[in-house]
Amino acid sequence: MAEAYIVGALRTATGKNRGRLSHIHPVDLGATLVDGLLDQVGIDPERVDDLVFGCVSQNSEQAGNVGRNVALASKLGESVPGVSVDRQCGSAQQAIHFAAQAVMSGTQDVVIAGGVESMSRVPMFSNIEDSQAQGRGLPKSERLEERYPGVEFSQFMGAELLAKKYDIKREELDEFAYQSHMRATAATESGKFREEILPIELTLENGETFIHDADEGIRANASVEAISELEPLAPGGVVSAGAASQISDGAAAVMLANEDAVKKYGLKPRARIHTLAVVGSDPVIMLEGPIPATKKALERAGLTID
């Protein structure tokens, strides 16, 4: 089977809600990242065949095919198209899947894949809330209601159901969250993220410039005690804001190429993709999906976790 090679990878440092990146339009944020990726790889922008970008909230500033808008705002030529993907939390990962499939098939040689999301400027669920405000319908249709009566498809509910199913205690979640902050702090301070982050120069309110090159949401001063004092998101639940994903702004992308392009343009492979898998899972709990998908990918590749 043909393989796809990752020849470049870059991301912005994550910005927290209403933080350092919140004043940047998501299209411009994505375009800045794409320009940095092109510089990193050193390829002629005209050699790129397509750009595939994932985005969950394709509303407001992220509407109108944010992938194409990112391409047009970057230094890619007008002849380079762009497309947007919504597979919810797996949107950017699916963008990489589609790009890999394209270069593995030989229909395209070089593709940029990634994603952008400004949760500060385009809040989560804003597309649904805007529709409700205009008196329009909701995503759950009559047939969906027949199959899943009275069920709300919610990550918050799914997380609580998952914790209940596997008997995960609040104390375990709080400890894991604390360790996550400590590991991220150690990795940042030791420079482990340096090569993957594109430094972005920002202008502060007082006119001074600032280089944004470290993830803003990492809490070096976190403690289990402080996390454990936070109220759960649901009454009697175990998930709190301290143990949940933060509201973030950022962008990330990779450049994928097939073997012919690697040789033709003198590109340096960093990793290769030879097997892909996606699996649908219980839409109510929803968060278990990576487990069967991983098993399927391993089976297709003839590999095991051992």
Give the domains, in start order, of the chain with CATH numbers.
4-169+194-215+246-301 (3.40.47.10)
What are the tens digits of pLDDT across the range 277-304?
999 999 999 999 999 999 999 999 999 9
pLDDT value for 152:
87
pLDDT value for 97:
98
d(CA 66, CA 46): 20
Residue 124: closest CA among 41, 27, 57, 31: 57
What are the tens digits of pLDDT across the range 121-132?
999 999 889 888
Reported as a pLDDT band with limits 50, 70 and 90, residue 116 is very high
pLDDT value for 306:
83
pLDDT value for 207:
86
pLDDT value for 1:
66
What are the tens digits of pLDDT across the range 144-163?
999 999 998 999 899 999 99
Note if the pTM is more than 0.75: yes
What are the tens digits of pLDDT across the range 27-44?
999 999 999 999 999 999
pLDDT value for 23:
95
What is the DSSP code (8-state) at residue 240? B
d(CA 248, CA 117): 8
What are the tens digits of pLDDT across the range 40-79?
999 999 999 999 999 999 999 999 999 999 999 999 999 9
Number of alpha carbons in the 13 Å side-chain half-sphere of residue 26: 31
What is the DSSP code (8-state) at residue 90? T
pLDDT value for 271:
98
Reported as a pLDDT band with limits 50, 70 and 90, residue 276 is very high
Please, what's the largest Cα pairwise distance for the chain? Answer: 60
Backbone CA torsion sign across 97, 257, 85, 177: positive
Residue 122: closest CA among 261, 277, 13, 248: 248
What are the tens digits of pLDDT across the range 227-241?
999 999 999 999 999
Residue 108: closest CA among 78, 130, 80: 80
What are the tens digits of pLDDT across the range 79-93?
999 999 999 999 999
Reported as a pLDDT band with limits 50, 70 and 90, residue 141 is very high
Determine contact, residues 45/76, Cβ cutoff 8 Å: yes
One-letter amino acid at 268 equals K
What are the tens digits of pLDDT across the range 161-200?
999 999 999 999 999 999 999 999 999 999 999 999 999 9
d(CA 76, CA 38): 9
pLDDT value for 174:
98
pLDDT value for 205:
77
